Structure 1
């Protein structure tokens, strides 16, 4: 069993997006659906395909820092501010598993680096297409939608 969708949204995703100055209902819904489809909202965090709620691979994590965040020092500083002071230096990729706000910030930065515009927050098919583009190119939009219904339920739980 993972984290309750409403708790993840209220205590992790929404505050992280607000902290980054990136909050929108669509961004929140996309990250919640991504966590549902990637890890069952944290039911399975240890996977060969990546770390944590969003299953982010070490190479993608490193490339995001090198090719996206390094170009915006203020944003990089805000994201780095979410990471543990000493643990990040020793094992930066482990932060994706143990630090939910940092993992959420990195997941959002991956979206931002690849997507200019999000669909409406109630457009599950559109959100699924963004998820597929950013997180699982070989996945099916139905995987996202099924995970949403299984783990999140109705859209009213996000609002």
Structure 2
């Protein structure tokens, strides 16, 4: 059982990005493709060391906080505000599994931490390059690259219809 893509976009991704001051169909596309590839939209919550919809590793999570958000207290406060008051201090990594808005914010921070800037002409192949650079710490196969590119194409905002 996974999450409906259209509903995930409408109820999680878009509100999270709006709260962060981001309005970009390409960022939405990248995040949806990431969730689609990393967890099959929630079919798997742990793969290759990464957890949650986005397959974020504990190392990635720490790096975002220690080397990116720590340098921007206002942004850190916004992201921390999405986390649970009670659970985050006890088990911050579990928030990546149980809190979809927080996980979405952290996924976008992983990309921002790596300097990602998108424009509306960014191609599916370029999004795949970005995902590989930001989320994979190993070489990927042609098959894996093709699978991510297909996820990007599935969520192309220019097509105006996101499959469920």
The two structures have a TM-score, normalised by structure 1, of 0.89
1:29 counterpart residue number: 29
The CA deviation string for residues 51-82 of structure 1, in whole angstroms up to 9 with x for no partner, is: 10001111110111011101100000000000
Aligned residues: 157
Q: CA RMSD in A?
A: 2.0
How far apart in 2 are the matches of 1:4 and 1:42?
9
Matched, 1:143 2:147: yes
Shift of 1:116: 3.6
Mark the runs of 5 or more structure 2 residues left unpaired by the alignment: none
The answer on whether the counterparts of 2:30 and 2:127 sit within 8 Å (CA) in structure 1 is: yes
The answer on whether the counterparts of 1:27 and 1:118 sit within 8 Å (CA) in structure 2 is: yes
1:89 counterpart residue number: 89
Shift of 1:103: 0.2
Map 1:4-23; keep pairs closer than 5 Å: 4-23=4-23
How far apart in 2 are the matches of 1:92 and 1:25?
29
How far apart in 2 are the matches of 1:42 and 1:145?
19
Shift of 1:121: 6.3
The CA deviation string for residues 78-99 of structure 1, in whole angstroms up to 9 with x for no partner, is: 0000000010011000000000
Shift of 1:152: 5.3
Shift of 1:153: 8.5
The two structures have a TM-score, normalised by structure 2, of 0.87
Change (3 A) 1:132 1:119: farther
2:126 counterpart residue number: 126
How far apart in 1 are the matches of 2:156 and 2:78?
32
The answer on whether the counterparts of 1:115 and 1:130 sit within 8 Å (CA) in structure 2 is: no
How far apart in 1 are the matches of 2:71 and 2:4?
35
